[in-house]
Structure 1
Amino acid sequence: MRLHRNLVFATIDALSEIFNEGKYADKVIQKTLKRDKRWGARDRSFIAETTYDIVRWKRLYAEIAEVKDPFSRENLFRLFAVWATLRGIDLPDWKQIEDTPTRRIKGKFDALSKIRKYKESIPDWLDEMGVKELGEETWTKEIHALNNLAPVIIRTNTLKANRENLQEILAEEDIQTRVLKDYPEALELEERANVFRTKAFKDGNFEVQDASSQLVAHFLNVEPGMRVVDTCAGAGGKTLHLAALMENKGQIIALDIFGNKLKELKRRAKRAGAHNVETREIDTTKVIKKLHNSADRVLIDAPCSGLGVLSRNPDAKWKLQPEFISKIKNTQAEILDQYSKILKPGGKMVYATCSVLPSENQQQVENFLKREEGKDFELVKDQKILSSETGYDGFYMALLQKK
């Protein structure tokens, strides 16, 4: 593989923004890829994949290169040289990467690969927390799985297409997919591609949504004609799935504290042909109070550490802090107490997170059931999804019923 100077320099610029300015990797990469109209698909995928790779393995590469945060430009080139050496890529004789000690790099890689926090490239505190919560063996497998590149999974929008038909339409656009048998609407791309450019996407025939995430709407057990409240709807991935499962019949009220996310949901709902969705911004406590005892189903897709989705957000490893995790657990408990009041007697509620930590999952549900607010609820069933067992995102969901 021959390295092209302008692609490598674009990668270094992107890494500088992510590591030194604390910007989100996906946003930086999106912007970087628009820099040169002459870049083809292969050029763009080199920049995106290399940047994500170096972000994912930052701690390991920095340890091998003997450099520390914040990274000077010279040190970013050293990280890049480590990345290239470990991939067996011949380094060109540019002054930025001359004198790269390739043998020493390989030797240090072998030595550090015996220590989990370096091998899996994670902060000390996260490694300790993972072991404490999941145990040595499970955590070792899970963090290893979460360092793999996430596959691209799409969810057929059954309001407009069926899965077999969608597979054929995509094949005509040169996108090959395979059916995932335990996930009724899911297709997995055989090769990564920009599916957002396809006619099928513009026509609203599918959404990009991880396989684990696609299980949540099914878990809520909705039926056409129900009144459903999605309390932390965000941009609406699960809201739109619920609309499809309800065949556009009944009502879905999508709530969020962020109005801009709900605007995006409205755009997506229009494209998907989901007509039974109404958005409401939670700008005062009245919004929730008005809904007390009124819903057949409530979904709480709670804000969380996001540890189950590290494979698609590797920069979260460096942005997460232990204080944030303690804070988010308090938020989860408050949300459960407040939003559970929306459910009417006999109704069902799902509490879900994209975390693998029991303290954000089973323990939150157990604590809720012991509190005054949870005394009328019982746990029907729950499901823990580990990335190491499925190859998809780590998730948790609990189905509760109000007596």
Structure 2
Amino acid sequence: MNSARKTAVKILKEVFDKSAYSNIVLGRELNNSQLNDKDKALVTEIVYGTLKYRYTIDNILSYYIKSGLEKLETYILNILRISVYQIAYLDKIPEFAVVNEAVELAKNKSPKGAKLVNGVLRSYLRTKGSVDYYNKNNKLEELSFKYSFPMWMVKLFVESYGNEQAEKILDGLNLVPSVTVRVNNLKTDYEEAWQRLEESGYDIEEGKICPEAIQIKKGKNIEDNPLFKDGLITVQDESAMMIAPSMDLEENMVILDLCSAPGGKACHAAEIMNNTGRVLAFDIHESKLPLIKENAERLGINNIRCGVLDAAIYSQAYNDKADRVLIDVPCSGLGIIRKKPEIKWTKDKQSIKNLVKVQREIMLNAAKYVKKGGKLIYSTCTLSKEENEENIKWFIKKCPEFTIEPLYYGKIDNIIYHKEGYITILPDKNMDGFFVAKMIKHR
């Protein structure tokens, strides 16, 4: 068990101190470890749980460590964090076992640290039912502590959506995401894919909104399954699956996807067009292009061409060339926190303002590539109105040759249909938070 917790502490150090991506570090460490499947599952649980609830955990620890957490050695602090997480949020591990494991782990570094760990955790166990760790008369503090989000982010959601909707968003962003796959209609149909998944022992259900979506509730790693390896299905969140159908695609169109990697939306567009026309998939990072190519090859797609392109810098070669231009712009990612909980700690209000500048540069540039009668699709995986609604309103004023075409997917409980025509998808157990707007060019 101790080696599992030691691995978790090591991963958290990289994420907290070096801003590493949790999924990448976790995958690397588990692949290189000698841990059994049960311990690997424990590491995953502890890492994602501690990341998700860090705000609440640190509030609790600050009550017992009056000198401040910043003065603690990182290794000791992260031992305390994973221990409080296990005590507060996991009911299968006995509390005394958590404390003993934490003390043993701390001894490896320093006897003094082990004594501190022992004292803090035992104090927490003695008093946790009788202590107020936040001001119960302050609604923002209450929501921040309950759902473990930084105060500025809670305030942003409350100001944008109101108390009730904000609380649903906070709850949705803490849910454990299910794996969703998209059926590739170039290679199979929904019924066959469904049957084969059931035969492989997967517990599945239909997607919430997208006709190609299948939710995997339980089963082995889907990427090891022949259906995935042979390209009959691909993993994609159902919110992201809504982008390509929103583009009103027809066969033999020319599509530009300006921020494409890893290529899920470009591949979906190619599938809808039955491998006709051209999908030009660009990314600013050349290192990411193989991801697009690998996805396309696995799925049997041959109408995608990849290239390096800065979406914010004009290229004469694509002026008025595209029937559809997709800009899934770089964003703060506040809608995908359930998959990347470290976003809670790596973003701030200033980083959003910096992103808005880039997003607007991309929008103005992308508009030049859309031919008359063509359409521009803008999407993000954030819930920040500054990056979403405000950008669209700004763009329509700047480019009056475009008007918004309303999007509608049916009566879905987690979709906000704005009167202007664009939509916000709120996070729930099946879908990430997303924003989509479709605009047509009239001249």
Provide TM-score, normalisation by structure 2: 0.84
Indicate which of 116, 127, 144 corresponds to 1:104.
Answer: 127
243 and 48 in structure 1: CA distance in 2 versus 1, 3 angstrom threshold = same
**Is structure 2 residue 8 aligned with structure 1 residue 20?**
no
Q: Which runs of 5+ in 1 are unaligned?
A: none
Structure 1 counterpart of 2:198: 171
274 and 317 in structure 1: CA distance in 2 versus 1, 3 angstrom threshold = same
Q: Which runs of 5+ in 2 are unaligned?
A: 105-116, 407-421
User: Does the 8 Å CA contact 2:312/2:358 hold for their aligned counterparts?
Assistant: no
Q: Distance in 2 between matches of 1:323 and 1:283?
A: 23
Q: Distance in 2 between matches of 1:347 and 1:172?
A: 43
Provide TM-score, normalisation by structure 1: 0.92
Structure 2 counterpart of 1:75: 77
SS of the residue corresponding to residue 398 of structure 1 reads strand
1:129 maps to amino acid: L
7 and 107 in structure 1: CA distance in 2 versus 1, 3 angstrom threshold = farther
Structure 1 position 137, deviation (Å) = 2.8
**Is structure 2 residue 8 aligned with structure 1 residue 11?**
yes
Indicate which of 42, 45, 49 corresponds to 1:49.
Answer: 45
Bigger drift between 165-174 and 155-164 goes to: 165-174
Q: Distance in 1 between matches of 2:323 and 2:253?
A: 6
SS of the residue corresponding to residue 49 of structure 1 reads helix
192 and 21 in structure 1: CA distance in 2 versus 1, 3 angstrom threshold = farther
Structure 1 position 124, deviation (Å) = 2.3
SS of the residue corresponding to residue 213 of structure 1 reads helix
SS of the residue corresponding to residue 375 of structure 1 reads coil
Indicate which of 357, 378, 402 corresponds to 2:403.
Answer: 378
**Is structure 2 residue 224 aligned with structure 1 residue 197?**
yes
**Is structure 2 residue 373 aligned with structure 1 residue 346?**
yes
**Is structure 2 residue 390 aligned with structure 1 residue 363?**
yes
Structure 1 segment 284-363 matched on structure 2, within 5 A? 288-363=315-390
Structure 2 counterpart of 1:395: 434
Structure 1 position 9, deviation (Å) = 1.5
25 and 285 in structure 1: CA distance in 2 versus 1, 3 angstrom threshold = closer
Q: Distance in 1 between matches of 2:2 and 2:168?
A: 37
1:82 maps to amino acid: V
Q: Distance in 2 between matches of 1:64 and 1:285?
A: 44
User: Does the 8 Å CA contact 2:184/2:233 hold for their aligned counterparts?
Assistant: yes
277 and 146 in structure 1: CA distance in 2 versus 1, 3 angstrom threshold = same
User: Does the 8 Å CA contact 2:134/2:145 hold for their aligned counterparts?
Assistant: no
2:217 maps to amino acid: E
User: Does the 8 Å CA contact 1:60/1:112 hold for their aligned counterparts?
Assistant: no
SS of the residue corresponding to residue 167 of structure 1 reads helix
1:30 maps to amino acid: G
SS of the residue corresponding to residue 16 of structure 2 reads helix
Structure 1 position 274, deviation (Å) = 0.7
Structure 1 position 128, deviation (Å) = 2.4
User: Does the 8 Å CA contact 1:130/1:139 hold for their aligned counterparts?
Assistant: yes
User: Does the 8 Å CA contact 2:4/2:39 hold for their aligned counterparts?
Assistant: yes
Structure 1 segment 262-281 matched on structure 2, within 5 A? 262-281=289-308
**Is structure 2 residue 243 aligned with structure 1 residue 216?**
yes
Q: Distance in 1 between matches of 2:304 and 2:75?
A: 48
CA RMSD of aligned residues (A): 2.1
Q: Distance in 2 between matches of 1:126 and 1:183?
A: 30
2:331 maps to amino acid: C
User: Does the 8 Å CA contact 1:65/1:105 hold for their aligned counterparts?
Assistant: no
1:387 maps to amino acid: P
Matched-pair identity in %: 27
> What CA deviation, in whole Å up to 9, does each residue of 1:10-65 have, x standing for no partner?
1122112212232211111011212334x333322211121100010011011112
